[in-house]
């Protein structure tokens, strides 16, 4: 995979492939969009390292020329992330009764919808950012926001922040992993592992409010019964 993406890294096609993968993984979370972004960034790091070793006199200028590629990769992934969020949000908004019934049957979607609504109502949408790193969290939050008919001005800024944070983190993992460990499968594996660790932490943080709410509801029910 590293060789294939490395071959694309020198052309504009890499941005199209990354954008399409990130856009679609809101509906197909099994797509390895994060792995693709990391691998592309690792390929960029490999290119800059090769240039630095080949000609030290021009390495500074050549490495500067690589910088826009990293910036473009972050912007491309972030923009595709926001676009996918908005598509899912709009589809859920206009989903009608069938989608409402599907969400009602899913404890995960119902819980996320309630927590997201409460978070946005308080003026904070940090849950949107955390969910972007959790497996399928982006799908749950985007669909939940749309199904709950949250205002786009409440959801969009947080979606943009989430996209930039996720894209910046993924690109940084790939680039610095490639710089430190070289353009090898080891560098990619370490970077992907770091991305999965962040996802596991995000999933844990997302589950904590649900567990706390359940405990609070149980305590309230016990007090009510006792009284």
Q: What is the pLDDT of residue 86?
A: 94
* 169 SS3 class: helix
Q: What is the pLDDT of residue 167?
A: 95
* Separation CA 94–CA 130 (nearest Å): 25
17: in domain: yes
Domain boundaries, position 176: 2-217
Each of the 227 residues of the chain gets a pLDDT tens digit; together they read 555 555 555 567 788 889 999 999 888 877 778 888 988 888 777 765 444 444 444 444 444 444 448 899 999 999 999 999 999 999 888 876 666 666 666 666 666 656 665 655 554 578 889 889 988 788 888 887 887 788 888 889 999 999 999 999 999 998 888 888 776 677 778 888 998 999 888 878 766 654 444 333 333 333 334 44
Q: What is the pLDDT of residue 113?
A: 59
Q: What is the pLDDT of residue 13?
A: 78
Residues 6+ apart with CB under 8 A from 146: 88, 89, 90, 91, 92, 93, 95
227: in domain: no
Q: What is the pLDDT of residue 62?
A: 45
225: in domain: no
- Number of domains, the chain: 1
């Amino acid at each position: 995979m590293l060789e294939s993406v490395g071959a694309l890294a020198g052309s504009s096609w890499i941005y199209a492939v990354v954008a399409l993968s990130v856009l679609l993984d809101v509906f197909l979370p099994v797509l390895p969009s994060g792995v693709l972004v990391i691998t592309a960034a690792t390929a960029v790091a490999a290119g800059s390292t090769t240039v630095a070793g080949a000609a030290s006199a021009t390495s500074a200028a050549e490495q500067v020329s690589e910088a826009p590629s990293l910036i473009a990769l972050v912007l491309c992934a972030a923009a595709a992330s926001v676009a996918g969020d908005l598509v899912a949000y709009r589809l859920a908004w206009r989903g009608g009764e069938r989608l409402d019934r599907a969400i009602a049957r899913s404890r995960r979607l119902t819980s996320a919808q309630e927590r997201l609504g409460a978070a946005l109502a308080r003026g904070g949408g940090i849950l949107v950012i955390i969910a972007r790193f959790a497996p399928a969290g982006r799908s749950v939050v985007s669909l939940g926001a749309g199904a709950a008919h949250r205002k786009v001005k409440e959801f969009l800024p947080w979606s943009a922040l989430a996209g930039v944070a996720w894209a910046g983190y993924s690109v940084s993992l790939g680039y610095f992993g490639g710089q430190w460990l070289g353009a090898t499968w080891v560098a990619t594996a370490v970077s992907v592992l770091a991305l999965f660790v962040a996802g596991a932490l995000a999933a844990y943080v997302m589950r904590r409010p649900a567990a706390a709410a359940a405990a609070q509801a149980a305590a309230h029910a016990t007090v009510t019964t006792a009284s």
